[in-house]
Amino acid sequence: MFLALDIGNTNIKSALFAGNQLVDFTTHSSTDAAVEFINKTSFNEAAICSVNPAVQKIISNKISANGVSIFEANIQQIFNLTIKYEASSTLGMDRVCSAVGALELATNQKIISENQFLITIDFGTATTINIVSPNREFIGGLIAPGVNTMLNSLNEKTAQLPLPNLESYQGLIGNSTNSSLISGVLTATIGMIKETVRQLKDDSNQKPPVIFVTGGNSNFVLAQLNYKVIFEEALVLKGLKIIYDLNN
């Protein structure tokens, strides 16, 4: 059994694979919850993708103590795409993993052609948009505050703005402070995505891009997008598994 872990800034996500088959996907809200899961789970191979070094150390020590060697994803490894990024050492491996996973899935499912861009969007603590060119090159993307991060910031940095629940979204025009905040944050996120898609399509004279999305806040945004998108909750971890296989 193969265990893949995506250690983020807010949550830790885990996936168990039997061969290439995903058999379990779990989101852990704390390091303790992830450690408890590791202690009760049987696996003989493990890989980690992390943007949180302190938590990564705790998790790695726990896995090593169980006698399992750990594969840690880094930018020097072999991928199914070429990295074209000015400062690759600063590139988050979660972004690379999502692109690797999406490219593999799109290729296997034959839903991408030679003249199409590929986009992955991760709705997490940050909203990241990652772009793979028709030449299978990771060329960069956009990073913005995630929807909850924006709401939390407005709540913390102002005297009177509340912290609303995203599930109370009512549409573009908010008729209360709560609904206005949610509309502003979601519309800003949707606008960023639409402008990215427009520029890739219009400026390059290419077909509309293939779009994969992942992350905990996906459902709040997807309903507002008028594009065909593919939702993969374990996209980063599927990409991590592919990187592990390519390097072993």
Q: Summarize pLDDT for 69-107 with one digit per residue, the tens.
A: 999 999 999 999 999 999 888 999 999 999 999 999 999
Q: Which residues contact 118 (CB under 8 A, 6 or more apart)?
A: 99, 102, 103, 106, 112, 131, 132, 209, 210, 212
The answer to whether residues 28 and 88 belong to one domain is no
- Within this chain, do residues 167 and 208 fall inside the same structural domain, yes or no? yes
pLDDT digit string (tens) for 143-175?
Answer: 999 999 999 999 999 988 888 888 777 788 888
Pair 150, 223 in one domain: yes
Shared domain for 141 and 217, answered yes or no, is: yes
Same domain, 188 and 95: yes
Q: Give residue 54's pLDDT.
A: 95
How does pLDDT run across 7-52, given as a tens digit for each residue? 998 899 999 999 999 999 999 999 999 999 999 999 999 999 999 9
Same-domain status, 53 and 135:
no
pLDDT tops 90 at residue 131: yes
Question: What percentage of the chain has pLDDT greater than the value 70?
Answer: 100
SS3 226: coil
Q: Give the Cα separation of 11 and 27 in Å (integer).
A: 7
Compute the distance between CA of residue 178 and CA of residue 160 in angstroms, rounded to an integer.
11
pLDDT at residue number 204: 73
Q: How many helices (H) and strands (E) does the chain have?
A: 7, 11
Residue 246 lies in a domain: no
> Does the residue 131 lie in any domain?
yes
Q: Exposure pattern of 222-231 as b/e (b: 16+ CB <10 Å)?
A: eeebeeebbe
DSSP state of 64: H
Pairing status of strand 137-145 against strand 12-18: unpaired
Are residues 126 and 236 located together in one domain of the fold? yes
Position of tokens 């379990």? 24
Do the domain assignments include residue 248?
A: no
Q: Name the strand (E) or helix (H) holding 153.
A: helix 147-157
Confidence band for 206, pLDDT divided at 50, 70 and 90: confident
Domain that holds residue 55: 2-72
Tell me what pLDDT residue 222 has: 82
C-alpha distances in angstroms, 13 versus 22, 225, 232? 13, 26, 13
Q: Number of structural domains, the chain? A: 2
pTM here is 0.94
CATH of the domain at 148: 3.30.420.40
**77 found inside a domain:** no
Residue at a domain's end among 34, 51, 72:
72
| Within a domain: 247 | no
User: Based on the domain organization, do 91 and 61 belong to the same domain?
Assistant: no
pLDDT category of residue 234 using cuts at 50, 70 and 90: very high
